[in-house]
Structure 1
Amino acid sequence: MNDPETNHKNPLEWCVFGVSLLVTIGTIGYLIVGALQRKSGPPVLEVNLGKATAADSWVRVPVSVKNSGHSVAAGVEVQVAAMDGSSHQSATLKLDFIPIDAERHGAVLFKAGIDPTTLKCEVIGYQNP
């Protein structure tokens, strides 16, 4: 029953085993090195406004927020304000989650009549998850 000839491994089995072992060790090594080299620090949030478009009685302004920092940002709040001389309108955009090295997009709406060149934007808050 335990004949040495029947327990002999096929060379193809050894090749598959070797390749699988190398891939597994390589993946684990890559994850360990990545975890050890990860820097810590706060999120760095950059806000950019897109081209404003008018529709009906509204002006839609696309907003993109990029996190180039070293930690995740949750509950990000962005305020966009139209600073015309006679009127002042503001809108707030809330983004749930921005991972490291990721960008999220949204839009804010203003009543028609704003000057898109007077728009100012800033991040007014976020949470550490």
Structure 2
Amino acid sequence: MNSDFQQARSLPEWITFIVATLILLGVVGLTLNEWRTQQDSPPILNVNTSSSIRTDLGQYYVPFSVINSGGTTAEAVQVIAELRVNGSLLESGEQQIDFLASDERQEGAFVFTRNPQQAELTIRVASYKSP
């Protein structure tokens, strides 16, 4: 075979090459932009509760979700729930989420023996650890 012989690329080959290159450049660009904009922002942890409290066998299940809308990961996220009446603490609960990456959501539930709808319920993030 002649080493100087090169077959010209067909139009479909060029189109495929250009589309693949554009996709690769888009992925690299989006990754670099995400890294640049959220590189140093700390975790921002928000707790959301659902109004759908479930009752089963005399216990009240209060679902919640924790969302990390910050730029970095949070470890050992501690979530605390307190049930109070007239300022007096009736019940409390604590949960720990091991790992919560940026834009990640974890769900769980607190279980109470008293009806949370007849008291003041507070669910909050108490602490987290940076990895």
TM-score (structure 2 length as normaliser): 0.79
Q: CA separation of 1:13/1:78 partners in 2, compared to 1, >3 Å: closer, same or farther? A: same
- CA deviations over 1:32-67 (Å, ceiling 9, x no partner): 233222252321211122232221121111111122
User: What residue is the counterpart of 1:78 in the other structure?
Assistant: 79
TM-score (structure 1 length as normaliser): 0.80
Residue 105 of structure 1 aligns with an amino acid whose one-letter code is: E
- Per-residue deviation, 1:3: 6.3
Percent sequence identity over matched residues?
28
Contact 2:77 2:96 in 1 (8 A): yes
User: What residue is the counterpart of 1:92 in the other structure?
Assistant: 94
**Secondary structure of the structure 2 residue equivalent to 1:125:** strand
Q: For residues 107-122 of structure 1, what are the structure 2 equivalents within 5 Å?
A: 107-111=109-113, 113-116=114-117, 117-122=119-124
Residue 30 of structure 1 aligns with an amino acid whose one-letter code is: L
- Per-residue deviation, 1:78: 0.6
| Higher deviation after alignment, 53-62 or 95-104 | 95-104
User: What residue is the counterpart of 1:55 in the other structure?
Assistant: 56
User: What residue is the counterpart of 1:105 in the other structure?
Assistant: 107
User: What residue is the counterpart of 1:10 in the other structure?
Assistant: 9
- Per-residue deviation, 1:79: 0.7
User: What residue is the counterpart of 1:65 in the other structure?
Assistant: 66
Residue 31 of structure 1 aligns with an amino acid whose one-letter code is: T
CA RMSD of aligned residues (A): 2.3
- CA deviations over 1:70-102 (Å, ceiling 9, x no partner): 221122111101112466211112222222223
Unaligned 5+ segments in structure 2 are none
Unaligned 5+ segments in structure 1 are none
